Structure 1
């Protein structure tokens, strides 16, 4: 296994809409550095500078209160504030700028005991295992590794993928008794994942290639988050792009 590096998770929160991070999420992510992104998505006719002047003080106060909740749980947390015309591009940009390994799409999480990890065939299993092992530190969360294959002929390859993932998790320090594996045959991966996630409290979707990041944020993870009541953790690619994208902001984010 290659040398580990620091991990970090981006948690975007619409602070002006009263969106909160459930205590179960705070506790589960206390073992990994977190970047809290307080954001407000604006209509096209509203300039970010105008919104910052009008709502900035309130948004900063809400963000600081949320940050203190993570700090009280012992979490290494930093915060950023953004007023933007495109929240998904802002999530993407900040994730790159702050070298975040994953982005948590918040949904209600009154209970957090089981995690469904949906793996594609092209993911970097070792990388995902290291990140998951970091998140699992200090928790009792149980994992189900999940893979959707289009037909019976590729089922063996899916089983091998999950066995590899299981071995990497165990090597990273996760108790084997906490890990289960399931391979299903279905020509609609998203539908199969949504159905399986109904029996779990957190959905983890892993991808490996930075070139498909836009698809991750704008399609698969967005649809999964919309169709499930669980939080969705989208694991980004191991190799982070150095370039940023334009997101409609006319002023830089504020950092804390």
Structure 2
């Protein structure tokens, strides 16, 4: 049974041979998925023209992708877009379909362990519920990971991960499936990339509530480019404090 409290957007570039690894399909079986097949067009090509010329072929390819999810028991909705700006399209679809996370695809031949980069306590409860839903019905294990800028912040990082662990257990995750690690490094991105090499899926958060700005331009996208694993980016809209205020210390939510 799918959990409609969550929804993941999966953009797939059609006509480019991109596919969703079966391991990812199986891992997301309990969460509603919006499968967005898109084709980015040159400025001189109109979207109506492209839809007329390539629509049937695109719909057939998207239907094949959708069938893979349906056969795994997924609650899947499909969207097709011919666009001049894929980032704008991703953001619009994510907002329209209330998706709280977006999957940046990379190959995933094996999916056994998840690395969760935790930066702050902003809406840790939401992240825990999403992860609990992903873990449900799987044997996946996860590592909570925090990068402290110096030794004086290590203890605070350890406390942060204990809070995250408690939220996961409260959400129904067996504590035996949860590991945690705090490292000290003045380059958080490098530290996360190094740690991600020992895991199969990286979970990170947006630094601001904009897929357009963040997924393809900030640290989350840089992480996706530098790892060989898929990256699940939790949208900033779902990480902000309920009152819309700043986080403690003025930091923004996102990956460490």
Give the TM-score category using the shorter length. Answer: 0.7 to 0.9
* Distance of 1:54 and 1:204 partners within structure 2: 38
CA shift at 1:240, angstroms?
9.3
Post-superposition Cα deviations, 1:146-189, rounded to whole Å, max 9, x if no partner, equal 11111111111111111111000011011101000011111111
Matched, 1:180 2:198: no
More deviation, 210-219/126-135:
210-219
Post-superposition Cα deviations, 1:120-145, rounded to whole Å, max 9, x if no partner, equal 12531101000110111111100000
Whether the aligned pair in 2 keeps the contact of 1:114 and 1:143 (CA below 8 Å) is yes
- Judging changes above 3 Å, is the alpha-carbon distance between structure 1 residues 122 and 43 closer, same or farther for their aligned structure 2 residues? farther
Post-superposition Cα deviations, 1:92-115, rounded to whole Å, max 9, x if no partner, equal 221111000100000000000000
What's the TM-score, normalizing by structure 1?
Answer: 0.88
* Distance of 2:218 and 2:13 partners within structure 1: 20
CA shift at 1:74, angstroms?
0.6
* Distance of 2:232 and 2:239 partners within structure 1: 17
The runs of 5 or more residues in structure 1 that have no matched partner are 242-256
CA shift at 1:215, angstroms?
2.9
CA RMSD of aligned residues (A): 1.9
Whether the aligned pair in 2 keeps the contact of 1:143 and 1:178 (CA below 8 Å) is yes
Count of matched residue positions in the alignment of Structure 1 and Structure 2: 238
Matched residue, 2:156: 157
Matched residue, 2:133: 134
Partner of 1:10, secondary structure, is strand
Partner of 2:122, secondary structure, is coil
* Distance of 1:216 and 1:155 partners within structure 2: 28
Matched, 1:70 2:73: no
Whether the aligned pair in 1 keeps the contact of 2:91 and 2:210 (CA below 8 Å) is no
Whether the aligned pair in 2 keeps the contact of 1:122 and 1:207 (CA below 8 Å) is no
CA shift at 1:220, angstroms?
1.6
What's the TM-score, normalizing by structure 2?
Answer: 0.88
Post-superposition Cα deviations, 1:173-212, rounded to whole Å, max 9, x if no partner, equal 1110100001111111111111110000000002475268
Higher relative contact order (CA 8 A, sep 6+): 1
Matched, 1:108 2:107: yes
Partner of 1:218, secondary structure, is coil
